[in-house]
A = this chain, B = another copy of it.
């Protein structure tokens, strides 16, 4: 049997199972799957170096299915090949046809879209929210390069989803970093969900675009085994220094079964007589296309070669003061003031020197986030990834780096992190060990105005802090360091924790509050002042305003407690004890819109069932520019005089 006939036979077999499993599930995207039958067959049964017995092997070539809804075709191949599945790595078993037929069941690891954390380790990341796969693939390739591993990364992208700008961010990124081990494969089946794709996403236009971005493009018939084979072989044989390559494959949505082709068949399973008809059509196609007896001889999977380099152990990082001194900043240290964003940059450099898994990404603001202290260290420079002004690609690339065993820290202004919230959520769904350093947070950057201020960010990340992730930890830790010691310590703590973390630093230089002896633990808080009349809870930059307010209150005879709630989630019982010790009077202060720290405290108080009085101070207007911090704090009603006035009123004292 020829290779061509063998591919046709296998693709048709997988197409048929795709139809069946979607029919069983009562939903899914069989026609998208069928447009991918031949491409996936050549990849998974021939071109990729991998082993069905070790789908997560980092030495193996990887397949990122950016158009995640096409997953039935990959599931069909995995069922045919007996690829290991199962949520618990210790008790994985070969996938069967029955597993495929359990698609989308609540207890099944065969999820509606690629979802490695539910027990399908062949995939490296959750996909299905479109446009992210190529960035993930790029991250996987970067990790491999850093480890000196030769794995290739294939990425299948839908024509419709190539409308997402992130795809083009990824293309720029691949060219910038010469990630020639990534092969983007555009599946041009000409249909989106609700209509044909735009001519802007036609195979011809995509090829032109890719060439203009610097790719060498191979345009093929995505159902012609020899053309697919030749394209993938050409990719595999390319030497270092070649331009990145891309494949633009013209395909048919519902290939082989005319009765399920055309508009109106997106995301719709064929059932009953329609299912039978599609099977009959595919059977007829097989008769026509496979002249000899079926046989798999030409479809042989080769395992990867090589060995994983031994993972280097992480050593302990120096203290903040030691790091300042070893970076020639003793005199700055002596001033007693340093911005939290700078301390985070310093911590990354210190971390990078003791932990080889640390990778730092930035989006053209490294001189503001101070990740340049990592980038400019010649021993670390090759683990610094300049992503330019493209935050979506940065976060998904970090998700890929995490899947490749790295600990990625992504830095930019917190405001611009917003740009990638969907990518961040998909990284959480992927179980990614992602760390986000958002600088210039809240209103304290003042002069640049609201287009650069992060304001609803604490509310958004807080939603994840009460979700258990796949490892049982919180879906996110939000960390808000009040001084440089805290920012430094919490950056180290983020690296220790396996899971997603968001640290929110600020622009201004601020006074030291802590010292090298303070230990910062995720989930804890610090009591800065202990009083008995009122509990003030704040974090980050606002701690300094609260400290000034406490001085004013002290003059009025109000004896307030101040808690630095540097972590959300936090120890709720310990905070409730403090509230009770302060007469049940609580004031929260934060430099962002509602739903953040104040609501976290409100949630904790109301769960207890005890009576408390809580007043929340937060940003209640859309801010604008002011020339300095004082100006913007006054504008937003968060100046320390306003805090003191509110606190005094709670305690029944006039100011």
Q: Give A contacts to B, CB under 8 Å.
A: 25-28, 68, 104-106, 108, 111-113, 115, 117-118, 126-131, 160-161, 163-169, 172, 175-176, 192-195, 197-201, 205, 208-209, 211-214, 362, 364-368, 372, 386, 388-390, 392-393, 415-416, 418-419, 421-422, 425-426, 428-429, 447-452, 455-456, 458-460, 462-470, 475, 592-596, 598-599, 601-603, 605-607, 609-616, 618-622, 624-627, 631-632, 634-635
**CB neighbours of A415 from chain B (8 A):** 129, 422
CB of A612, distance to nearest CB on chain B (Å): 6
Q: How far apart sit A621 and B475, CA to CA, in the bound complex (Å)?
A: 9
**CB neighbours of A421 from chain B (8 A):** 418-419, 421, 456, 460
Q: How far apart sit A252 and B233, CA to CA, in the bound complex (Å)?
A: 45
Q: How many copies does the complex hold?
A: 2
**CB neighbours of A634 from chain B (8 A):** 106
Q: How far apart sit A108 and B449, CA to CA, in the bound complex (Å)?
A: 12
Q: How far apart sit A113 and B453, CA to CA, in the bound complex (Å)?
A: 12
28 contacts between A and B (CB under 8 A): A105-B626, A105-B627, A106-B627, A111-B624, A112-B449, A112-B451, A115-B625, A117-B622, A131-B165, A163-B389, A163-B390, A164-B165, A164-B389, A165-B392, A176-B200, A194-B368, A195-B364, A205-B214, A209-B213, A416-B422, A418-B425, A459-B595, A462-B594, A465-B594, A467-B621, A602-B603, A602-B605, A606-B613
Question: A621 contacts B193, CB within 8 Å?
Answer: no
Partner of A603, one of B115, B163, B611, B616: B616
Question: A198 contacts B212, CB within 8 Å?
Answer: no
Question: B625 contacts A106, CB within 8 Å?
Answer: yes
Q: How far apart sit A208 and B131, CA to CA, in the bound complex (Å)?
A: 23
Partner of A172, one of B118, B163, B362: B163
**CB neighbours of A176 from chain B (8 A):** 198-200
**CB neighbours of A602 from chain B (8 A):** 599, 602-603, 605-606
**CB neighbours of A393 from chain B (8 A):** 165
Closest to A626 in B: B106
Partner of A212, one of B209, B416, B465, B610: B209
Q: How far apart sit A527 and B611, CA to CA, in the bound complex (Å)?
A: 26
CB of A199, distance to nearest CB on chain B (Å): 8
Partner of A194, one of B372, B470, B593: B372
Closest to A614 in B: B606
**CB neighbours of A613 from chain B (8 A):** 606, 609
**CB neighbours of A168 from chain B (8 A):** 165, 168
Q: How far apart sit A458 and B631, CA to CA, in the bound complex (Å)?
A: 31
**CB neighbours of A388 from chain B (8 A):** 160, 163, 192, 197-198, 200-201
Closest to A209 in B: B212
Interface centre among A27, A421, A599, A626 (most CB of B within 10 A): A599
Question: B593 contacts A366, CB within 8 Å?
Answer: no
**CB neighbours of A364 from chain B (8 A):** 160, 163, 192-195
Given A194-B365, A616-B603, is A463 in contact with B455 using a C-beta cutoff of 8 Å?
Answer: yes
Q: Apart from A200-B213, A429-B450, what are 4 other A-B pairs with CB-CB below 8 Å?
A: A126-B450, A172-B200, A195-B366, A607-B615
Partner of A425, one of B456, B458, B462, B614: B456
**CB neighbours of A616 from chain B (8 A):** 603, 607
Question: A593 contacts B169, CB within 8 Å?
Answer: no
CB of A190, distance to nearest CB on chain B (Å): 13
**CB neighbours of A201 from chain B (8 A):** 172, 388
Question: A422 contacts B429, CB within 8 Å?
Answer: no
Question: A128 contacts B209, CB within 8 Å?
Answer: no
**CB neighbours of A25 from chain B (8 A):** 447, 627
Partner of A115, one of B450, B610, B615, B627: B450
**CB neighbours of A465 from chain B (8 A):** 594
Q: How far apart sit A68 and B469, CA to CA, in the bound complex (Å)?
A: 39
Partner of A451, one of B205, B426, B469, B594: B426
